Structure 1
């Protein structure tokens, strides 16, 4: 038996006496070509989806405002004017090339008001809210886009935030309408027209839009002596300039010490800007006979405060901006550029970016290395993002001002004012916008669109592209200053 063993084969494979070899025909091999698996489709970035959504709203608004019955005279508005108005409404800017009260019909004004409301909410918020009302569960990316546009860091609390947003918006806008209703009836001489007057200005103020139906491109200048109109509108503007996350935090916590760092930064910076703006405008316009100089003391204080509120970023004005001194115009430009809070109806670079940069400068001057506020450290990545947002905003305003200056005979300060108003989605004007060349109007359209989306889109894009750094290079000093 030992001789039957094979040293290199298993025992069951060794041939034994009497074994038979059976050979079977093997079928030829057939090559089967399987379909190549497709790469998973990469979803659109959130920032791109927001931009596309706003663009679609603008196109729909342009088409509606181009209809003959959208104009008061029954004639079609030009495509450029309809596009400009729709962009200004969706971007809650308030710059106009046609008088809203006299050039547009009731239908046209209603379209503008709806665009203001949808644009103020933002495309992602409006779409997510509509899906929730229809009983359709929004996708994770929809909730994430909505949450980031509202200042909510994650998608978890978006549905609850949307519910509070809708209820809070309805309450505030209806309250504003009721407060303004007596003034609206007195201004229009009719109860029903007074309701429309009050509702339009309440929605426009809370959404920081700045559209008005007073007529004659006068905005709130006929009501310089009417605190019952200016104060409610100013309060609506301030509330709209705070994010819903901040408002919810204030309502929920009710104590300063329990507020989040974001809420403390927003509230503190807003208060400083309002007080500083009021004092500076009051000082620079005190003896100006074409603005505050002809008003009694209480009305001077009221209108100085109102003019400090509206650049952030509503666009109403109780003083003739074209007659303000250059110093006041510079203050107004600064307020328009900063804007309101991130996640709010306001535009600009946002108060958080401004506060972070100021804190960063203060940190350097004190010889420290970490930016902190209210006992909390601000991560360096947010400092870098704030720097990127501000620098890109400066570049955009400079480029748009330069291009328009090549086309228009107006002074540089006037052009700079209009461009900053467009970027900050403010709507204040020195009166040159209706006289601009169509190409200059298109440049302002792009500036309004970039101003409404730019800081937000940039922040989202930077957040999406955050990747771990596989390599850290050696540190080397660079000469500065």
Structure 2
């Protein structure tokens, strides 16, 4: 009887689609992480099960929203658990699992290759194992460089053991675009520190631009030889970063609670950091609760757009935003095809981008509506928190710890959807619907 039940559950699992298996895998990762964080050896003070699972969800989805102070609430063991959850969430637990299988000398079957393709957002399963190795190699090399760079700043200040621990933790969090910090004020004490600003921002950008783009840059070396995806990501990242830095600098320049209280050099570094971190990173060197509403609106747009595909970041993805933006411009110019860098974008890609954006907006609307019923915060605070959770960013106006248990569960669900939802949606829409019946067309009045 027991064997029959085991076989039954095994068959059910085997028949799950790759997106469903990934969702189940991340759910299990969160459950295991929550249980470990609830252990007495993981905390300096008792925390509730909701807070433990909220922290595990935030770490595994590389978000960074915190209901407790990470540095004082969790022991070194607990902080290592959070760091491992961030690493597994950023690189993908399937990537790490495949690495272990390859080290053990086991064979990687077709189904495992399909799962890797789903995890890395690849429709072509050819060369996936090589891609996995390169992803891990590039990631570990970049993180190692980051540890050395930040250690120069923190080891002299904190001592060798603590300084190295803080460097490794923040490098893993920054590269995987999770905004966890071990200081109560995040990184606001380093608002004018060039080493911390450059080090963290370098990790945020390299982690958020996408593994495939980094690999493409390494092997192509010339911009003209890059793939269309890499060209869009590089140009889009540069343009969006410059615009966001200038916008935040102008809007907050006279705000006495943010840039207004800083000197000229600190104003530059603060604008530079806040212009980059909303792209799903979650670190901050200024208090977002003190920012002006126009700045918060710009930040929410940046969080909604997010990072790149096949990256450690979330959001609808920069390529999705670029395709939608230029599709609208092409429509206004009455062009029949969308062309970027002398390459035609397929209509299926445009439709997929539109579906992702609409579905994401619908999810945010429903969640904000529910939070307005359960929580006692302003609309701006709840909207900011929701978009931050969906984009797996981790920025907050300071309301995360004050959420009710129901509110925390809702935000946990949004963080999970932010990591899994768009990915699953892309691949479910990518499968062609082979209908045998075709119906006559008819125009519908729009606009």
Residues 151 and 243 in structure 1, CA contact (< 8 A), matched pair in contact too: no
Residues 117 and 203 in structure 1, CA contact (< 8 A), matched pair in contact too: yes
* Residue in structure 2 matching 1:131, options 101, 122, 131: 101
Write out per-residue CA displacement over residues 336-387 of structure 1, whole angstroms, 9 at most, x where no aligned residue. 0010001100000001110111111011000011111111111111111111
Match of 2:176 in 1: 207
Shift of 1:41: 9.7
Deviates more, 1:52-61 or 1:126-135: 126-135
Shift of 1:219: 0.7
Matched, 1:155 2:125: yes
* Residue in structure 2 matching 1:334, options 297, 301, 304: 301
Match of 2:6 in 1: none
**Structure 2: distance between partners of 1:102 and 1:284:** 34
Match of 1:480 in 2: 446
Residues 92 and 208 in structure 1, CA contact (< 8 A), matched pair in contact too: yes
Match of 1:470 in 2: 436
Write out per-residue CA displacement over residues 261-283 of structure 1, whole angstroms, 9 at most, x where no aligned residue. 11111111111210111111011
Match of 1:92 in 2: 62
If the length of structure 1 is used for normalisation, what is the TM-score? 0.89
Residues 19 and 118 in structure 2, CA contact (< 8 A), matched pair in contact too: no
**Structure 1: distance between partners of 2:397 and 2:337:** 42
* Structure 2: 5+ residue stretches without partners: 1-10
**Structure 1: distance between partners of 2:161 and 2:30:** 29
Match of 1:224 in 2: 191
* Residue in structure 2 matching 1:357, options 298, 311, 324: 324
Residues 314 and 427 in structure 1, CA contact (< 8 A), matched pair in contact too: yes
* Residue in structure 2 matching 1:271, options 225, 238, 243: 238
**Structure 1: distance between partners of 2:94 and 2:435:** 31
Match of 1:28 in 2: none
Shift of 1:147: 2.4
* Residue in structure 2 matching 1:237, options 196, 199, 204: 204
CA-based RMSD: 1.5
* Structure 1: 5+ residue stretches without partners: 1-38
Higher helix share: 2
Residues 207 and 346 in structure 1, CA contact (< 8 A), matched pair in contact too: yes
* Residue in structure 2 matching 1:197, options 166, 171, 177: 166
Matched, 1:58 2:30: yes
If the length of structure 2 is used for normalisation, what is the TM-score? 0.95
Match of 2:153 in 1: 183
Write out per-residue CA displacement over residues 157-203 of structure 1, whole angstroms, 9 at most, x where no aligned residue. 11111111111111111110000002222442x21110001011111
Q: Secondary structure at the match of 2:259?
A: coil
Write out per-residue CA displacement over residues 305-346 of structure 1, whole angstroms, 9 at most, x where no aligned residue. 110111111100001111011010000000000100011000
Match of 1:22 in 2: none
Match of 2:144 in 1: 174
Write out per-residue CA displacement over residues 11-31 of structure 1, whole angstroms, 9 at most, x where no aligned residue. xxxxxxxxxxxxxxxxxxxxx
**Structure 2: distance between partners of 1:233 and 1:139:** 38
Match of 2:338 in 1: 371
Change in 2 beyond 3 A, CA 1:160/1:294: same
Shift of 1:468: 3.3
